[in-house]
Structure 1
Amino acid sequence: MTDRSTATATADSGGSGAGGTAGPARAANAARTAVVWDALEGLLARLGDGGPLEIVDAGGGTGGAAVPLAELGHRVTVVEPSPDSLAALERRAAERGVTVRGVQGETRDLSGLFTPGSTDLVLVHNVLEYVEDPAAALHDVVGITRPGGAVSVLVTNAVAGALHRALAGHIEDAHRLLVDPDGRWGESDPMPRRFTRQQLLALIGGAGLEQESIRGVRAFADVLPGHAWEGDAQAGQRLVELERAAAEHPELIGIATQLHAVAHRP
């Protein structure tokens, strides 16, 4: 499982938190993360009663999401198979002056690491692409989520993957990706799996979760040429606002690089 920068917008991209880098780099990061962080902020507000939440970041890597969440006062545990990533997580948390619990493991280990129904929020960001059985992994996640708690799922969008291959001139790859059940364009495709919106909805429903929202993430940031906005803080901020507006239009989900689903356990 890989490190994700979902909530880094809080610390590094002009989100709700303070600190981090400034200027163009900050705006560039925000363009790729602001939509997810906006959804997480609303989710945290709905789940919380003023006290800290119990949050598990499954496959949380080096803490790109976990550390900013801990800075907000929540109790965060990262479950990550890589010892190197866990060591980097410990360093990052120490540098920011927060505590994040790091545990070596995978989604199939969740039931042995946590009491059933003990977690308010579980992040599953860029994980289902890599696990052997996405449906089983999501069931394991649901098992540790309390009734009324929430799950945040971020996956790579197969339809957008085809668009990007076509724009790069790889027409046959784009076609193969669209018809492949795993959303791959060939044996050399570095991504083990991509998802369509319908596949993501089926996974969520099959796990017993009730979907609250699905938004497109990075509808324009990965399509526009970098010179159009990178290095220009004002242009980067305009792109952030464009991404936020695009996320509210279901018609644009198909071109977004990622799909972000928020669901709750009834």
Structure 2
Amino acid sequence: MYPTRPRSALRTAVVWEVVRAALEKRVAELDQPVLDVVDTGGGTGNFAVPVTSLGHRVTVVDPSPDALFALERRAAEAGVTDLVRAVQGDTQTLPDLVAPGTVDAVLCHGVLEVVDDPAEALGSLAGTLRRGGFVSLLAANRNGAVLARALGGHFDDARAVLGATDGRWGPSDPMPRRFTGDELDRLAAGAGLRVESVHGVRVFADLVPGVLVDTEPGALDALLKLEEAAAGQPAFHAVATQLHLLATLG
């Protein structure tokens, strides 16, 4: 099961499969069927609700009351209200919202790009984990942005991203921050986490014209399979729009 509709699955399928497998592994390690999961910045429940469909308890921490309202409605429609807890907050307030060492898994998708201090934020997330728990970390890839801007004819932007410490092309860039794989590795290590796997996300999906996927019979499934096949190969990480790290607390 993918946590989104088929077209959007191009952007989420790789991450979902890694998370699902990691949850199954954690269940087997602990020999207990229900895990405690925190989804920081989880918004409307794009991942949280599918995780509850596996039987796990999920606390979604998000600063937007509107997103949390949508989450509660979505959870009600899915019949998993008893497994979802919606809490308004962010990584800075997380220590006051979730007790240390009480969580089996943390989902941190698209969060480090927007926080004031990525190292502090990831440290707060790691602090909620039980020993052996994991963080699913998804972040914008600087190198992928270089390729995307260049292919779009924005050559000055592409060159700016290459040299910018924050991976932005300038004031008009809507993304507050991007990372390289090495930077994410260092952030994980600084939070006491051990990186178990790295996957490239949206290696081809953002580069292939949408008309090809939407009009060619079978193209969507074929592209999805290609994304899944390339995601784990390091050679393709440099061109992915996002990087996904699975890291455990040793």
Which TM class, normalised by the smaller chain length? Answer: over 0.9
Is structure 2 residue 168 aligned with structure 1 residue 189? no
2:239 is matched by which residue type in structure 1? I
Cα deviation for residue 11 of structure 1 reads 4.3
Residue 39 (structure 1) aligned to one of 2, 8, 18: 18
| SS of 2:2 mapped into structure 1 | helix
Q: Provide the C-alpha distance between the structure 2 equivalents of 1:178 and 1:63, rounded to a whole number of angstroms.
A: 34
Is structure 2 residue 244 aligned with structure 1 residue 265? no
Residue 72 (structure 1) aligned to one of 54, 67, 82: 54
Count residues with an aligned counterpart. Answer: 245
Is structure 2 residue 211 aligned with structure 1 residue 227? yes
Q: Provide the C-alpha distance between the structure 1 equivalents of 2:52 and 2:215, rounded to a whole number of angstroms.
A: 30
Q: Provide the C-alpha distance between the structure 1 equivalents of 2:3 and 2:40, rounded to a whole number of angstroms.
A: 20
Q: Provide the C-alpha distance between the structure 1 equivalents of 2:124 and 2:245, rounded to a whole number of angstroms.
A: 17
For 2:139, the equivalent position in structure 1 comes to 155
Q: Provide the C-alpha distance between the structure 2 equivalents of 1:120 and 1:233, rounded to a whole number of angstroms.
A: 41
For 1:84, the equivalent position in structure 2 comes to 66
Q: Provide the C-alpha distance between the structure 2 equivalents of 1:70 and 1:159, rounded to a whole number of angstroms.
A: 34
Q: Would you say the 8 A contact 2:3–2:12 is kept in 1? A: no
**Which range is displaced more, 231-240 or 104-113?**
231-240
Q: Provide the C-alpha distance between the structure 1 equivalents of 2:190 and 2:214, rounded to a whole number of angstroms.
A: 40
Residue 98 (structure 1) aligned to one of 58, 67, 80: 80
| SS of 1:123 mapped into structure 2 | strand
Q: Provide the C-alpha distance between the structure 1 equivalents of 2:4 and 2:154, rounded to a whole number of angstroms.
A: 34
Any gaps of 5 or more consecutive residues in structure 2?
Answer: none
For 1:123, the equivalent position in structure 2 comes to 107
Q: Provide the C-alpha distance between the structure 2 equivalents of 1:181 and 1:105, rounded to a whole number of angstroms.
A: 28
1:194-213 alignment to 2 at 5 Å? 194-213=178-197
2:87 is matched by which residue type in structure 1? V
Go from structure 1 to structure 2 and tell me whether the alpha carbon gap of 1:78 and 1:232 turns closer, same or farther (over 3 Å shift): farther
| SS of 2:14 mapped into structure 1 | helix
Deviations 1:97-126 (A, max 9, x none): 112110000011111112211000000000
Q: What is the percent sequence identity of the aligned residues? A: 52
TM-score (norm 1): 0.90
Q: Provide the C-alpha distance between the structure 1 equivalents of 2:167 and 2:33, rounded to a whole number of angstroms.
A: 41
TM-score (norm 2): 0.95
For 1:5, the equivalent position in structure 2 comes to none
Is structure 2 residue 2 aligned with structure 1 residue 10? yes
Computed over aligned residues only, the root mean square deviation of the Cα atoms, in angstroms, reads 1.1
Deviations 1:127-147 (A, max 9, x none): 000000000000000110111
Is structure 2 residue 9 aligned with structure 1 residue 30? yes
Residue 120 (structure 2) aligned to one of 114, 128, 136: 136
Cα deviation for residue 50 of structure 1 reads 4.5
2:100 is matched by which residue type in structure 1? P
| SS of 1:10 mapped into structure 2 | coil
Q: Provide the C-alpha distance between the structure 1 equivalents of 2:215 and 2:106, rounded to a whole number of angstroms.
A: 34
| SS of 2:25 mapped into structure 1 | helix
Cα deviation for residue 71 of structure 1 reads 1.3
Cα deviation for residue 156 of structure 1 reads 0.5
